[in-house]
Amino acid sequence: MNPTDFLKHLKEQSFYQNQLVHVERLGGRMVRYESLERPLLRPLVEAIQAGGTTRLYRHQAQAIDAIRAGHNVVVATGTASGKTLCYNLPVLEAALLNSNTRALYLFPTKALAQDQLRALTELTQRLKAAMPARNGMPPWLPRFGSYDGDTSPNSRTRLRREANIILTNPDMLHVGILPNHNLWAQFLKNLKFVVVDEAHIYRGVFGSHVAAVLRRLTRLCQLYGNQPRFICCSATIANPGDHIERLTGQRPLVVDDDGSPQAPKQFALWNPPFIDPKKTARRSPNGEAANLFAEMTRQEIRNITFTKARVVAELILSYARQALDRTDPDLKERIASYRAGYLPEQRREIEQALFQGQLIGVTATSALELGVDVGGLDATVSVGYPGTVASLWQQAGRAGRSNSSSLAIMVGLDNPLDQYFMRHPDQLFGRPHEHALIDPGNVYILEQHLPCAAHEQPLTPADESLFGRGFVEAMVKLEEQGIVTYESEHDKWYYRGRPYPAQHVSIRSVGSKPIVLVDSSRKMKRLEEMDEVSAFSRVHPGAVYMHQGDSYMVTELDLIKGQATLTPARVDYYTQPHERSEVNIVRSLKHRQMKLCTAFWGAVRVTQQVVGYRRVRQFSEADLGETPLEMPANTFETRALWWDVPIEWLKHLGARGWDFLGGLHAVEHAAIGLLPLFAMCDRWDIGGLSTPMHPDTERPQIFIYDGYPGGVGISEQGFALLTDLWEATLATIKECPCEEGCPSCIYSPKCGNNNEPLDKRAAIWILESLLRT
């Protein structure tokens, strides 16, 4: 069933109530080839021809020419555009010409590394067939292998000694390779290429950590008299050159003229219908997505349904299985969920089942956004705007990888940003890609990585040029704590902390210890794990946690043992944490005078605490009440944007019978929801606070802060584009058809005050006043 027929089929279903609000028809793109400045080695030409590549796309040829010329390169093109050949071909060519050549391939996940290992194996097998034997001896081929936590000790030794190419991930580089660089001396001395695949993923706190790891790598290569080149591949983003420079510390040549062909695609926007006459509530987007997922399964349309949260992936799978059980019970085992947290062997099984067609579809978090090969798909569903245009197109690009047309559907959530796009599809499909944001000078992150660097090799003042802004402040703090000591005789800082510091630094979270989730009904079988800060909100006592579509009740969270005990539960609800936050100003770093107020950006101290949880009915999303809870508070310093609101406006709004605090609160919620329009982030990456009288300023204030220690540049982007943010926020609130406010404009699922008070009219008046000339 083609996309047009399936959309027509959907309109004939009993659940259809005019949810289809827009269909964007995206025409295909013609292929553009280009020749290399000099031909590849003949065996490489024959190897790629045997794999079906007879000519190189324009961007492939440009990238290979630039790499051969000695440039650092970033290839920023679309999904399935053949970026892998951009680095495999020049790396293999260099290894064939000089057997001492070494390359390090970095992938954000082990799954992607394993997938690329298969592709590299197939390419070298074809290369072997193209190379004649000499004197009866088989041809020499570049050696390679995967180096991760599953690699045996014997294999690790062999790879260090013999491999031309090592495929790994930033975690293993951070904790396994760099601290043991003496074992890697020959490899690092001959390291010619560092390949960073899916480089757009390295943003926010994770990207800032990886930037520090890559600087540590560069530093150790320099120790061994070497300066490797970086080859980076990225989805299309607004600032590929600047992003890669911040990530690697090296300025790249940008290759972004995509020459690959693209099949036609239909992209539909699906908005859940209102369920009340006042137009304040919509039908559950999870239920809507489950209907689409189940119907695609019935029609055997191979798909991935992407969600923004693990629990939503599990809920949609559960709802769809219940629907299929009523009509097509044989099909309910042909769908599954796939997300971070599952054990590696579980994820490999699901990938294989989807690739081989045993599964028709999976619900997934962004873990499947990346380029793991799961075979040809017909459709994707994105449950909510994923936070960035780049992620949306990555998800949509997973379908239609051949010349056949494909379908993408985005289901609108009941929040300001999604509803803005539902009403303004041109702003979604005509929107430029966002800037990827990382902060390599984040002092909080440098405080964790500089001890690792000093442990690897004593630091010197010259290292400031490598680690940049934040180096001096971080070193002062580390000296005060006795973690490093300065010896003037050698002009170096020496590490004096506990052994092996890298093992105490998590590069994928804020650094809290892991919590293991176990099933008490199966002899404490390990299900998955998460970091401690996440555990406070997701596996607190009384929480309902979902794993592979099954519900579990959390009976105990033992922070000392690092264990959450779960037991299977038959319940018809799920739980949502209720968090409260406080914000205190540490110092202002920038300020600007707006028309009627002053805006600031600077350092703040945020305290967050889970104070309860709500039970929410499955399918209907009805609120079943709240249970109080007191989890440990989490306090961290970060960066925030805040602005004054004139106190005199209290009288103006009071005279109209409107609620001043309700207006501030509504502006805060809506502005947080719209900030991802301007910064490459998700609304869950940021938090906020509004108050009629802040104790630090004694004025009404609205704060929007980065949700990570040290900040990652999100609020700074909002500060730079504050007028644009106010304008988009005003448009979203005014255009929403509700009378008094709703989740589509001013309600927030993260609100620590149960969305009270909120005043839509006051919010419109405040924003219009802020923007008044």
DSSP secondary structure, 319-336, as one string: HHHHHHHHH-GGGGGGEE
Question: What are phi and psi for residue 5, nearest 5 degrees?
Answer: -65, -40
Query: Among 13-27, 648-662, 734-748, where is mean pLDDT lowest?
Result: 734-748
Provide mean pLDDT across the span 486-496: 95
**Which of these ranges, 555-564, 674-683, 719-728, 764-773, has the smallest mean pLDDT?**
674-683
Phi first, then psi: what are they for 467, rounded to 5°? -85, -20
Which whole number is the average pLDDT over 209-232? 98
Give the C-alpha separation, 714 to 204, whole Å.
Answer: 8
Q: CATH topology of 275-429 equal to that of 514-571?
A: no
Which of 309, 264, 259 has the alpha carbon at shortest distance from 289? 309
Mean pLDDT (whole number) for 135-162: 90
Backbone angles phi, psi at 382, to 5 degrees: -105, 115
Instruction: Tell whether pTM > 0.85.
Output: no
Please give the average per-residue pLDDT across 365-376, as a whole number. Answer: 70
Least Cα distance to 509 among 529, 535, 531, 528 occurs for 531
The residues near 420 (Cβ < 8 Å, ≥ 6 apart) are 427, 674, 677, 728, 731, 732
User: Looking at the domain 514-571, which fold is it?
Assistant: Thrombin, subunit H (2.40.10)
3-11 helix and 285-298 helix, angle to the nearest 10 degrees = 120
- What digits encode the pLDDT tens for the residues 68-103? 999 999 999 988 899 999 999 999 999 999 999 999
- Average pLDDT of the chain, as a whole number: 91
Q: What is the pLDDT at residue 681? A: 72
Nearest CA among 221, 556, 265, 546 for reference residue 398: 265
CB-CB contact of 752 with 579 (8 Å): yes
Q: Which residues pair with 191 in a beta bridge?
A: 102
Of 353-357, 442-446, 550-554, 620-624, highest mean pLDDT = 550-554
> CA-to-CA distance for 192 and 661, rounded, in angstroms?
59
Cα–Cα separations (whole angstroms), residue 539 to 41, 451, 559, 656, 750: 56, 32, 11, 45, 17
CATH number of 275-429: 3.40.50.300
- Structure tokens of 562? 């690092």
Residue type, 451: P
- Position 340 scores a pLDDT of 66
Please give the biggest Cα pair distance in the chain: 97
Domain boundaries, the chain: 42-255, 275-429, 443-504, 514-571, 581-614+634-771
Among the ranges given (90-94, 271-275, 284-288, 403-407), the one the predictor scored with the smallest mean pLDDT? 403-407
Show Cβ contacts of residue 8 under 8 Å, excluding neighbours closer than 6 positions. none
- Provide the pLDDT for residue 310: 82
Which region among 5-19, 357-371, 615-629, 734-748 has the lowest average model confidence (pLDDT)? 357-371
User: Mean of the pLDDT values across residues 104-119?
Assistant: 90
In eight-state DSSP terms, residue 70 is T
> What CATH number matches the domain at 42-255, 3.40.50.300, 3.40.50.20, 3.40.50.970, 3.30.420.40?
3.40.50.300
Q: Does an H or E element contain 586, and which?
A: strand 573-593
Q: Is the pLDDT of residue 511 over 70?
A: no
Task: Note the pLDDT of residue 769.
Answer: 96
Per residue, what are the HEC states of 212-263? Answer: HHHHHHHHHHHHCCCCCEEEEEECCCCCHHHHHHHHHCCCCEEECCCCCCEC
Nearest CA-CA partner of 386 in 360, 373, 368, 400: 368
Q: Which amino acid is at 715?
A: S
- pLDDT surpasses 90 at 305: yes
The pLDDT, as a whole number, for residue 123 is 97
Higher pLDDT, 216 or 369: 216
- Angle CA(205)–CA(79)–CA(151) in degrees, nearest 5? 60
Q: Is 466 exposed, middle or buried (0-12, 13-18, 19+ CB in 10 A)?
A: middle
Going by pLDDT thresholds of 50, 70 and 90, the confidence category of residue 401 is: low
Task: Identify residue 485 by its one-letter amino acid code.
Answer: T
**In this model, does residue 402 exceed pLDDT 60?**
no
